[in-house]
Amino acid sequence: RRIVVLISGSGSNLQAIIDACKAPDYPGEVVAVISNKADAYGLTRADNAQIANQVISHKDFVSRESYDQALIEQIDVYQPDLVILAGFMRILTPEFVQHFSGKLLNIHPSLLPKYQGLNTHQRAIDAGDSEHGVSVHFVTEELDGGPVILQAKVPIFAEDDAEILASRIHQQEHRIYPLVVKWFCSDRLMMQDEKAVLDGKTL
């Protein structure tokens, strides 16, 4: 299966998926990486793995609609079976989400439906939570609101700051995102009626 990954930054999740794809029996390959930021380190990761990559800067477009339209057109050039948001820090238009409906995944650093939006680690600490986590979900028009596929939990310790907690979360991200991508690429996972279905069972 052909995978396109959208990033804005470090791309450690991109790296985890690139690494997973190296396994001979892995059913997917990353065919392109697109960033909205020119200085995203994930572009270097794509270069190192000899994967096509490019920058489409939102600053070159007058509106969110025109940016997303350009993004759709460029992604379609690669004819992906799956489009993955991996730290892509943009809100997507309904047109974009509909265009890739059922084949668009995101990873969000919280135990959804808790802490949609930004600064999730600090918010979990400030709330006095004893655990935090990460969710992989299908993307629907509701921001961070699509059906959850898989979550991983981590403890929050009294001395944690947001940075330490983020790194603990990242380790789980790098484990669960390639796994979910593998399920999708093996036709085990799909979205039906805005619900995630794995092996024929609604999650």
> Which residues ranging from 110 to 139 are in contact with ligand GRF (CB under 6 A)?
134
Is 102:190 a contact under the CB 8 Å cutoff? yes
How near is the Cβ of 185 to ligand GRF at its closest, in Å? Answer: 19
Does the annotation flag 92 for ligand binding? yes
Does the annotation flag 89 for ligand binding? yes
Beta strand ranges found along 96-181 (DSSP E): 104-108, 131-138, 148-155
Residues 6+ apart with CB under 8 A from 157: none
Is 173:181 a contact under the CB 8 Å cutoff? no
Instruction: Please tell me the distance from the alpha carbon of residue 177 to that of residue 194, in angstroms, as a whole number.
Output: 20
Q: Check residue 86 for interaction with ligand GRF (CB under 6 A).
A: yes
* Range in contact with ligand GRF (rule: CB under 6 A) among 17-25, 28-36, 104-112, 184-192: 104-112
- Which of 4, 5, 6, 13 is the binder for ligand GRF (CB under 6 A)? 13
- The 49-68 site mask, x for binding ligand GRF (CB under 6 A), equals --------------------
Closest by CA position to 10, among listed 85, 118, 87, 108: 87
- Which of 28, 109, 146, 178 is the binder for ligand GRF (CB under 6 A)? 109
Annotated binding residues, written as ranges, equal 11-13, 64, 89-92, 106
Residue numbers annotated as active site = 108
